[in-house]
Structure 1
Amino acid sequence: MFGQSGGAFQGLLKDGGKHFSGLDEALIKNIEACKNLALITKTSLGPYGMNKLIINHLNKHFVTSDTNTMVSELEVMHPAAKLVVLAATSQMKECGDATNLVVSLSGELLYRAEELLKEGIHSTDVLKGYELARDKAMEFLDGQKVWQCTDLKDVEQITKVVKTAISSKQLGYEGLLAKLVAQACVKVMPPHSSKFNLDSVRVVKVHGGNLSGSFVVDGMAIARPCSGVVKKHEKTKVAVYAEGIELGSTETKGTVLLNNAEELMNFTKGEESRMEEFIKSVSDAGVGLVISGGAISDIALHFLNKYRVMTLKISSKFELRRICQTVGATSIIRTGPPLPEECGYVESVRVEEISSQKFTIIETKDSKIATVVLRSSSPNVLDELERAIDNAVNVVRCTTTDPNFVAGAGATEIELAHQLQQFGATVPGLDQYAVLKFAEALEVVPKILAENCGHSHVDCVTALYAAHMKGEKHTGVDVDGGGLICDAAEKEVLDHLETKRWAFRFALDAVLTVLKVDQIIMAKQAGGPKTAKQEGGRDD
């Protein structure tokens, strides 16, 4: 990982400790590690980004272009590169999108800083210049707004909000997926949009078929059939029992002596009559669907079928809570008929077969949960589709707090670089060099977009600067139109303003932290000596 240095400092550490200091040993090696991490993720940026095949320590395979999945499954060990990974993770938690921008921009900023350091400029001057450039970039970013989402209940506007985020993961399917996500989000959007909950939009993956067979359920789709013979109900009440449907019994074992057939017939008659009375009272309350969080006895199932009550067993307590939220029911922990206020209501509940797998579809009016049922040919494709939907829903969540959008396709980055270059020319002292390098680093986004879609990045960036100098500040990289550049705002290629702001902040925070490190001190790792098997030898 590093080249170890000697010196008197080693005498301060226990045996096995390591110490690295100086520009070449500590800072430059840290920068190299972060640049190598950025090289991995750069090729996955944009609609034509490449996938990575990752096999983690559990031998699980990931085929993905999602940066958050990459950095979390790669198990990066280098301490400096881990800082960039933490920045990407923070971006994912805060905004749910633009993690690749964080890693790629961090690597480019450190690459430009390395050039200045090798030219003899002190790291303190680089830090000051980068901080100054960041503050000015945040000011300039506010002037880049091109569109504002005014109605979060409008499917067309939400489709426009999520289309760019989806196209960066699933180019060609963004129209269909954006419509599905928009329908699901609009269904569960609360009156106060700031209370929008990410968990309100669920995803169910069905192996088989193709994406065009995907649909949205105004409620829940549960990947199991009903237990009884009743498979469908319309406009009925729902009772949810958390502890199962069976009569209580003592924990001690007992022995019963039966002398004749009559005693055998009467042995369970009392239990049967009590169970029938219980099920009849449930049916008389108007309940047509009973959902159980525990076991359902055979005798209970018999009487539920007799009184035409649909029965569904749910083993997960978390799924049971979501069902209660969907149907508006209260979970019951006693064995008895439900009170009116404990009952939920469904417009429709039915069992459907999708790709040879049976699902129970629960639909309610004004449901608090919507489910996107995804269909595709392979598990890896389904996982990638789910990640694209997660990113899109996160963009909707961010839009509830800040409805402003800027031009995508690298247009905003080039405009910021252009304005920072003009600003940098007025900055006195050595800080000027760092400001200009910050502006150059912002060119990394259009460069990568151009390279990934087969354009010459030199020609593309030159054409972009020429357009922006003419005042065409929404001009970005044309990834699928046949030309080099296009008007990103006109083509509705939009990036969320606050998401981009957070990406710049997290990227620069990671960069400044790396540049402030001048020594690395590592204690000896805990644990005993390695076995022959761990060292790669034979385990005899």
Structure 2
Amino acid sequence: MSDRMQDQPMVVMSEDSQRVKDKDAQDHNINAARAVADAVRSTLGPKGMDKMLVTDTGDVTITNDGVTTLQEMDIDNPTAEMIIEVAETQEDEAGDGTTTAVAIAGELLNNAEDLLDQDVHPTAITKGFQRASEMAREEIDDIARSVDPSDEDLLRQVAETSMTGKGAELNKEALAALVVNAVQQVTVDGTVDLDHINIESQTGRTASDSELLTGGVIDDDPVHESMPASVDDAHVLLLDEAIEIEETEADTDVSVTDPDQLQSFLDQEEQQLKEKVQQITETGANVVFCQNGIDDMAQHYLAKEGILAVESVKQSDMSFLTDVVGAPIVADLASASEADLGGGSVSRNTTDDLFYVEGDNAHAVTLLLRGSTDHVVDELERGITDALDVVAQTVSDGRAVAGGSAIEIEVARRLRDSAESVSGREQLAVEAFADALELVPRVLAGNAGLDSIDTLVELRSAHEAGETHAGLDVESGEVTNTFESGVVEPAHIKEQAVSSATEAANLILQIDDIISAGDLSTDKGGDEAGGSGAGGMGGMGGMGGAM
């Protein structure tokens, strides 16, 4: 090979490909992740602000729920999407704490950037963060208190803490009682099955009118006005087959030359419907919930038999009714029998135009949430869903910690004390991890209109004095024992937030090269990305528009 060929760089990427390396890649990734974290930080805590999210079609969502905000934002950046995965993982594994997890991840990267500027290698930072994460989870477990699953007062405090600052806050005491009752009814031998809890919503009334029903709710009308409105001793058939004239697979044209021929066709169709209704009556069913349609003629015959029928029931409602009445969904009416029927009672609430379906010995329950408008009900449902998750977590896990950032301050203090035992530059990462945890009290204070620095100093002083459960009361602005004052959170949520945030931060810090097959910039109208610079990569896509 000639010297001239050796001097020429080998080109392995297409002309359209772009690449960002080393410090520029790290800066880009950190900035993108921090932008996402900053976007939801103002929603944290009881005094957090709401976000109005407007889609391209004009649909409006008003919420301060972290995962909802991030999912609705129009983000077009691979690094930012990693942070969104933190929220989604937190939601799936713990049910709440999404904003906390994302905020900690952003702060970990922010502190990591300072260490990178001090020439600390990314490997040392990630090892230190991972070690600090393990230590933090151990400390959380050590600090946590055991919870008796039958302790309704503490479980209500957990539910109220989760709902505070959300759409359910104004009626949190009454709603918390419903949440705890619902969880206890679907708990068997210490195992909580939230699939047995259904949430239905109605507008036009206040949240204080919400109620817990043993069984299911069907928001529909009887198919015929002559049908009974209520059936006390119900034999329920859940049907996934239309009670209509069966259509042929192929389109067929029929020429009718005689009125008698037309009448014959009509008689045949009527006979088909009679046979379907007869099949239902032979099973002994007196209530039919049908996922498909019911022909007008069939409605008439069902009413004559005294059978209550509802058509076009949602698939999700049908699935829930299988647990309520203890019956399978029948796909073939011809094979239906008495063994396919469920038992219970069906009653009509004429005020709300709802059917209440209660089953014999069923554990399934329905939370009927009410609110003045669709936006109110939607946010109320998000708050109740989080509350159900955290109460279920507390019952299953059996541990709780003081809220109001008490746990973060105490863990940060213990990490700093333990950092001295960590050798090398990893010690700096452990200390940076402790600093990141203290973002939570700083943001809580700032969102409540308090001085973040003064609050942090006061909290640190209380914990140095041995007050393990000292946290911020955002209502009074004072530092107090939040466990005793009823601000309680599941320990698992805190552990999961630390774990998710650490994994995401470490994943991002380990990237030192970004290669794209096309333009690296997600902002097509901005400056073009240079071959080694991150200038064109700062775009968060349509994120700004969604905010």
Pairwise TM-score range, normalised by the shorter structure: 0.7 to 0.9
* More off after superposition, 444-453 vs 345-354: 345-354
- Displacement of 1:362 in angstroms is 1.6
Alignment partner, residue 41 of structure 2: 42
User: In structure 2, what is the equivalent of residue 534 of structure 1?
Assistant: none
Structure number with higher relative contact order (C-alpha < 8 Å, ≥ 6 residues apart): 2
Residue number in structure 1 paired with 2:199: 203
**Partner of residue 399, structure 1:** 394
Q: CA deviation at 1:483?
A: 3.9
Alpha-carbon offset, residue 218 of structure 1: 1.5
Q: How does 1:354-393 map to 2 (within 5 A)?
A: 354=352, 358-393=353-388
User: What is the Cα deviation at residue 265 of structure 1?
Assistant: 8.3
For 1:320 and 1:435, locate their aligned partners in 2 and report how far apart those are by CA, in whole Å.
Answer: 52
* Residues 490 and 365 of structure 1: CA distance in aligned 2, closer, same or farther (over 3 Å): farther
Structure 1 CA distance, aligned partners of 2:57 and 2:10?
37
The 5 A counterparts of 1:80-479 are: 80-151=79-150, 156=153, 158-170=155-167, 171-189=169-187, 191-194=188-191, 196-229=192-225, 230=227, 231-246=229-244, 248=246, 252=252, 254=254, 279=277, 282-283=280-281, 286-335=284-333, 338-354=336-352, 358-479=353-474
Query: Given the alignment of the two structures, is residue 500 of structure 1 paired with residue 477 of structure 2, yes or no?
Result: no
The SS at the match of 2:166 is coil
Deviates more, 1:387-396 or 1:328-337: 328-337
Once residues 69 and 445 of structure 1 are traced to their aligned partners in structure 2, the CA distance between those partners, rounded to angstroms, is 20
CA contact (8 A) 1:46 1:169 kept: no
Post-superposition offset of 1:464: 1.0
How has the CA–CA distance of structure 1 residues 34 and 317 changed in structure 2, closer, same or farther, with 3 Å as cutoff?
closer
Do the aligned residues in 2 keep the contact of 1:314 with 1:320 (CA within 8 Å)? no
Equivalence for 2:541: none
**1:228 is aligned with what amino acid?**
H
Could you tell me which amino acid in structure 2 is paired with residue 200 of structure 1?
Answer: H
Residue identity matched to 2:385: D
Q: Provide Cα deviations, 1:406-443, integer angstroms capped at 9, x if missing partner.
A: 11110000001111111123434322222222111111
Supply the distance in 2 between the matched residues of 1:9 and 1:363 (Cα, whole angstroms). 76
Contact 1:147 1:406 in 2 (8 A): no
Q: Encode CA deviations 1:115-135: one digit per residue, 9 max, x unaligned.
A: 222233333332232222222
Secondary structure at the residue paired with 1:16?
coil
Which structure 2 residue ranges, 5 or more long, are not aligned? 1-7, 526-547
Relative distance call for 1:318 and 1:131 in structure 2 (3 A) is: closer
The SS at the match of 2:351 is strand
Secondary structure of 2:47's partner? coil
Deviation at 1:103, TM superposition (A): 0.9
TM norm structure 2: 0.85
What SS is found at the alignment partner of 1:143?
Answer: helix
Deviation at 1:340, TM superposition (A): 2.5
Residue 484 (structure 2) aligns with: 490
Deviation at 1:18, TM superposition (A): 1.2
Corresponding residue pairs, total: 510
Kept in 1, the 8 Å contact 2:160–2:172? The answer is yes
Cα pair distance change 1:485/1:322, threshold 3 Å:
same
Structure 2 Cα separation of the partners of residues 33 and 203 of structure 1: 36
Q: Would the alpha carbon gap of residues 313 and 158 (structure 1) be closer, same or farther in structure 2, given more than 3 Å must change?
A: farther
The offset of 1:392, in angstroms, is 1.8
CA-to-partner distance for each residue in 1:171-215, whole Å, 9 max, x for gaps? 3332122122222222333x2443x33332222221211111111
Q: How far does the alpha carbon of each residue in 1:441-464 deviate from its partner, in whole angstroms, 9 at most, with x for none?
A: 111111111111122111111111
1:306/1:409 Cα in 2 relative to 1: closer, same or farther (>3 Å)?
Answer: same
Whole-angstrom distance in 2 between the partners of 1:369 and 1:10: 66
What pairs with 1:54-93 in structure 2 (closer than 5 Å)? 54-93=53-92
Greater shift after overlay, 99-108 or 510-519? 510-519
1:535 paired residue number: none
Aligned-partner residue type, residue 290 of structure 2 = S
Q: Distance in 1 between matches of 2:259 and 2:48?
A: 79
Alpha carbons 1:17, 1:523 under 8 Å: kept: yes
Q: 1:367 to 1:161 in 2, by over 3 A?
A: farther
Note the C-alpha offset of 1:64. 1.0
Give the CA deviation at 1:32: 1.9
Please report the RMSD computed on the Cα atoms of aligned residues, expressed in angstroms: 2.8
CA displacement at 1:489 relative to structure 2: 0.8
Deviation for aligned residue 1:361: 2.2
* TM-score (normalizing by structure 1): 0.86
2:512 matched residue in structure 1: 518
Does structure 1 residue 53 correspond to structure 2 residue 49?
no
One-letter identity of the residue aligned with 1:327: V
Pick closer, same or farther for the CA change 1:474–1:234 going to 2, 3 Å: same
User: Which range moved further: 389-398 or 204-213?
Assistant: 389-398
- Output the CA distance in 2 between the equivalents of 1:259 and 1:92: 65
Query: Taking structure 1 as reference, are residues 277 and 128 closer, same or farther at Cα in structure 2, changes over 3 Å only?
Result: closer
- For structure 1, which segment, 110-119 or 403-412, has the greater mean C-alpha deviation from structure 2 after superposition? 110-119
Conserved 8 A contact 1:292-1:314: yes
Paired position in structure 2 for 1:537: none
The secondary structure found in structure 1 opposite 2:79 is helix
